[in-house]
């Protein structure tokens, strides 16, 4: 009986191949193949277009993504290939990024880092000025407000899957109140549907986006949704850039209505002359939330378990159906 042929990207650390079952045949797939390659199980490269590789592959029955999102996969591989995402693999680093980003904004870490580089702590009064400007809180505070607390905030998590749950777990330790939103309501878990999004927007201090990009979620947050948010509320996007309408986000930030912390943008990467670069009240990172030293190991461990299941005729994990 022929061995199960497993194709893996040439960027994968060879040391990690030990996780795969010994009875399968591992096939290294170059970034730009020059001849047809026959495999049964494909692990696409995580950070390069799969469209460059796919035309050279033959016999693929399963495509196991190393990413939580698989937007665009179905259009490339077709209806006959089982697509599995990497749900669960990126929960820890992404959840940590979300909490870190929120704390950085509330604690004004970027401002204080700028003052450090300027060798001038006297300008720290800017923190109080920023607080008053964005929150419209003009009450006298002694001492002046230099930082804000996460404790006591009400946070809406839009996308209550494995990453959303990991985010909530960490936020609860900061004594926040959470509201759970998903594409489909799950009353038993106190999860509301996205149809309730606008109802809750005026009630929360922060909105965390961690939904997959689908036809339903593309442009989910636009001008109307941003206008419903509290003055100075924080929008955190760790999902996909296109979940937020960029032009509306730029307008809301420039108007001083909200704050934002984003790891993803639309377009991505951001062109050098894009107005998003210069928006106030914005913390931005270049899609690095899941990029930690543990990324590769966790991805390969999931893929190896999927290979074992497939070879044994067992049900695969994280099978993507429908639009997502």
**236-272 b/e with 16+ CB inside 10 Å = b?**
bbbbbbbbbbbebbbbbbeeebbbbbbbbbbeeebee
* Catalytic positions: 240, 268, 287
pLDDT of 240 > 80? The answer is: yes
- pLDDT by residue (tens digit) across 108-141? 999 999 999 999 999 999 999 999 999 999 999 9
Domain boundaries, the chain: 5-89+293-312, 91-100+149-284, 108-147
pLDDT at 72: 84
Tell me yes or no: is domain 91-100+149-284 CATH 3.40.50.720: yes
Residue 302 burial (CB < 10 Å; 0-12/13-18/19+)? Answer: buried
Residue 58, C-beta contacts closer than 8 angstroms, at least 6 positions apart: 36, 37, 38, 39
Is the fold of 5-89+293-312 the same as that of 91-100+149-284? yes
Split at pLDDT 50, 70, 90, the class of 49 is: confident
Cβ atoms of residues 212 and 71 within 8 Å: yes
Mean pLDDT over residues 43-58, rounded?
Answer: 93
- pLDDT by residue (tens digit) across 78-104? 999 999 999 999 999 999 999 999 999
pLDDT top residue among 314 and 48? 314
CATH homologous superfamily for the domain 5-89+293-312: NAD(P)-binding Rossmann-like Domain (3.40.50.720)
pLDDT at 68: 84
In this structure, the dihedral spanned by the alpha carbons of residues 204, 207, 212 and 216, taken in order and rounded to 10 degrees, is 50
Mean pLDDT over residues 170-198, rounded?
Answer: 96
Tokens for 182, please give them: 């998903």
Mean pLDDT over residues 44-58, rounded?
Answer: 93
pLDDT of 189 > 90? The answer is: yes
Q: What are phi and psi of 4, to 5 degrees?
A: -70, 125
pLDDT at 323: 60
- pLDDT by residue (tens digit) across 279-313? 999 999 999 999 999 999 999 999 999 999 999 99
pLDDT of 236 > 70? The answer is: yes
**15-27 b/e with 16+ CB inside 10 Å = b?**
ebeeebeeebebb
Split at pLDDT 50, 70, 90, the class of 157 is: very high
Please provide the average confidence, as pLDDT, over all residues in the chain.
96
Cβ atoms of residues 46 and 66 within 8 Å: yes
């Amino acid at each position: 009986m022929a061995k199960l042929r497993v194709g893996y990207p040439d960027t994968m650390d060879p040391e990690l191949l030990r996780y795969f079952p010994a009875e399968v045949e591992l096939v290294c797939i170059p970034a730009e193949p020059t001849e047809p390659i026959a495999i049964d199980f494909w692990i696409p490269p995580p950070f390069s277009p799969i469209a460059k590789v796919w035309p050279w592959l033959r016999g693929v029955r399963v495509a196991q993504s190393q990413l939580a999102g698989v937007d665009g996969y179905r259009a490339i591989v077709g209806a006959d290939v089982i697509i599995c995402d990497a749900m669960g693999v990126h929960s820890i680093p992404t959840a940590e990024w979300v909490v870190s980003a929120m704390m950085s904004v509330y604690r004004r870490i970027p401002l204080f880092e700028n003052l450090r580089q300027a060798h001038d702590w006297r300008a720290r009064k800017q923190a109080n000025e920023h607080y008053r400007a964005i929150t419209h809180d003009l009450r006298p505070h002694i001492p002046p407000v230099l930082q804000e607390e996460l404790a006591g905030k009400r946070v809406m998590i839009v996308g209550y899957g494995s990453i959303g749950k990991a985010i909530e777990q960490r936020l609860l330790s900061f004594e926040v109140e959470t509201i759970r939103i998903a594409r489909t309501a799950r009353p038993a878990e106190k999860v509301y549907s996205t149809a309730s999004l606008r109802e809750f927007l005026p009630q929360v201090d922060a909105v965390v986006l961690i939904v997959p990009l689908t036809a339903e979620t593309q442009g989910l947050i636009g001008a109307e949704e941003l206008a419903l948010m509290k003055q100075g509320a924080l929008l955190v996007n760790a999902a996909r850039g296109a979940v937020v309408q960029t032009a509306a986000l730029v307008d809301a930030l420039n108007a001083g209505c909200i704050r934002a912390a984003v790891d993803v943008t639309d377009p991505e990467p951001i062109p050098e002359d894009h107005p998003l670069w210069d928006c106030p009240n914005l913390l931005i990172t270049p899609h690095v939330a899941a990029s930690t030293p543990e990324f590769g190991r966790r991805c390969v461990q999931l893929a190896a378990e999927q290979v074992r299941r497939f070879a044994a005729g067992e049900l695969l994990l994280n099978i993507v159906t429908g639009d997502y």
